[in-house]
Chains A and B, each alone.
Chain A
Amino acid sequence: MAVTTHTRFRALESLRPLQGPFIAIGGAMVIGALLMLLSGHNPLEAYSSMLLGAVAGPNFVNLASTLARATPIVGMGISAAIAFRAGYPNLGGEGQMVLGALTAALVGLYVPLPAPQLLPLAILAGMVVGGLWALFPAWAQLRVGVPLLISTLLLNYPAAYFASYMVTHVVRDVPSGMTQTYLIPDVLHFAKLMQGTQLHVGIFITLAVVLATWFVMQRTVVGYRVRMMGFNAQFTRYGGVNMNRMGYGVMFVSGAVAGLVGAIEVLGVNYRFIDGALQSPQYAWVGLMSALLVNSSPLGVLLAGVFFSAVQTGGFGMERVTGVPRELSRVLQAIIILFIAAQNSFSFGQGRAEERET
């Protein structure tokens, strides 16, 4: 890679990490435009309606929707990024999130405590259950050698089925006719930040998680060790780091963040656990793609998560104005990640892929 040493370009050099994502986004937009032309739509009109759909609207209501959607997406991006940084390909965020959400709803409904204690307990319980669900594949990997990539993915299915069973047969709000729990008490609901939207105070929890992750990863010994694990596991082991303990820790925290996202969605948006409500908007997978887009940088995940959220929210506006099905957003997001894969700019762990080759 040619590196210019000219001082005048120093400022531009600092933008180099952004090069990959921007090429990817540009490439995906070109392919998206071709798809629109093929299906007889005007790409300029579609993209501008997408932009307006993501940020405009009366009182910027669309921007509020984008931020509301970004709340779980950024959270799931952080969950994925923590694991990826350490070289753990955790694809089980969805199951961890769903079980965290179910737990938070059940604690909120059935534990007889006053609200000031019950609210943190519900969140904490959701985090613990999400973390424990992630510990199982970690144990299977570290103790038995079951490949984490596949076990985490497969575990999403039993988690979703179990949650579905609970709200169908055990804790169902029967009169509602839906597969969901009863509504949790009003005192536990997160305050809305803007009436008529789903934007709620949970977004500050997500922001705090982003900043905390950034701080731990960049400024603490533990974070340094986590990054080194992903960068060069053998070297880190020779350096005297207890890899197993770190591995369990990383997976627990990754799962706990996913559980937290589930709990926040229950307390801030749905006020109950609804079967399938967290899976159909693809929060876990879009979050994972945000982590892939920015090579698992915590602050990058914040940007990427908001961006992907804007693409999805904008999809609704695009569909309304131009008739292009909004699922094109999902296609665009995945194409962006394919470009990232093609540039080889992502690696599990900190190091760039080409540096890892021996």
Chain B
Amino acid sequence: MDLSQIFDATLLNSTFRYITPILLAALGGLICERVGVFNIALEGLMLWGAYFAVVGSFYTENALLGVGTAFVLGIAHAAVFGIIVIPLKGNMIVSGIALNLLIAGATIFLLRAMFGVKGAFQDPKLQGLGKINIPIVENIPVLGPILSGHSWLVYLSWVLVIAVYVLLFKTPLGLRMRGVGEQPEAAATLGVNVNWIRFGAILASGALCGLAGAQLSLGQVTLFVENMSAGRGWIAVVAVMLGQAHPFGAFLASVLFGFADSIGFRLQAYGLPTQFTGMVPYLVTLAALFVIALRRKKIAPFM
């Protein structure tokens, strides 16, 4: 096996595609983390987004409207999570687990109820996101094939990294958000509405997970498969931790996990059994958890 055959521009190009769903969900997760909400519903919200991106694209025959559907319904579903954990003060862990299980079941139910199929849904009417070739950039050797030729959601995710950074660290709202996360009582004393800030952050995470799901089902491929998020929402939870809830940190963590995702596929071509290459992203994520833990001074709580 020749290493230069594995690590080439195509691999890095596919890495960027794999990064995007994890990155978008991680941005949602870190916004929640910054305001003191531990959101483990990312997995389900991403799957929900993937499903409704396909639904929207199928009925409108327009990929953009598909993404829009995922975006709006992502917010709507996150609102359910928000209502349970904010005004009703429900347990975040239990409601997160329940929401993930609800969506896993609901997408299968809806797949049968709406399209009468099981397992996967694919249709010529489904419009994928397509690729954008950036003029000039695409002709640069090495960098061109890596940076050019992605769906617009990939480029949007890079813009959103900056946008979330600016929001959190350069705006008054961001200051309030971080205040709510670090010292909710103090923030409340200063007249910040803690509950609304938290609720808003949860809605934002729903929107971002909707986009993440759209990239999964319309960006990488053009179909919906049962359970196609396959733990990526949980990997995003770890990306938030590894990136210390900072947008740039989450970006680097997502690059690592996206790389692990794409190298798995690449190694498959060299005769490694799919089962071992499939394990790679989860093992890398587990290894990252050890790094996070060792970096801390104190033993963390269980959740």
Contacts and interface: CB of A to CB of B under 8 A. Distances in A.
Given A140-B290, A150-B289, A344 B301 contact: no
Contacts of A154: 231, 234-235, 238, 282, 285-286, 289
B176 to A, nearest CB: 24
Contacts of A148: 302-303
Contacts of B237: 150
24 contacts: A140-B290, A142-B299, A144-B290, A144-B294, A146-B286, A146-B300, A148-B302, A148-B303, A157-B231, A157-B278, A161-B275, A161-B276, A161-B279, A165-B275, A168-B275, A331-B106, A334-B98, A334-B99, A338-B102, A340-B94, A340-B98, A343-B88, A343-B90, A348-B93
Contacts of B99: 334, 338
Contacts of A337: 94, 97-98, 101
A344 B303 CA distance: 17
A87 B302 contact: yes
Contact of A341 (B90, B109, B299): B90
Given A87-B302, A153-B234, 6 more contacts: A144-B294, A145-B299, A333-B105, A338-B99, A347-B91, A348-B93
Contacts of A239: none
Nearest to B95: A341
Interface string A321-358: 00001011111011101101111101110000100000
Contact of B282 (A157, A169, A288): A157
Interface residues of A, number: 51
Contact of B303 (A140, A149, A165, A329): A149
Interface of B: 40, 80, 83-84, 88-91, 93-95, 97-99, 101-102, 104-106, 108-109, 112-113, 231, 234-235, 237-238, 273, 275-276, 278-279, 282-283, 285-286, 289-290, 292-294, 296, 298-303
Nearest to A40: B113
Interface of A: 39, 87-89, 91, 140-142, 144-151, 153-155, 157-158, 161-162, 164-165, 168-169, 285, 288-289, 292, 325, 327-331, 333-335, 337-338, 340-344, 346-348, 353
A341 B98 contact: yes
Nearest to B230: A157
B279 A334 contact: no
Contacts of B300: 145-147
A58 B104 CA distance: 33
Given A338-B84, A342-B84, A344-B91, A147 B98 contact: no
A147 B300 CA distance: 7
Contact of B290 (A146, A292, A343): A146
B94 A346 contact: yes
Contact of A325 (B90, B95, B109, B231): B109
A356 to B, nearest CB: 10
Contact of A164 (B91, B234, B275, B290): B275
A162 B275 contact: yes
Contacts of B299: 142, 144-145
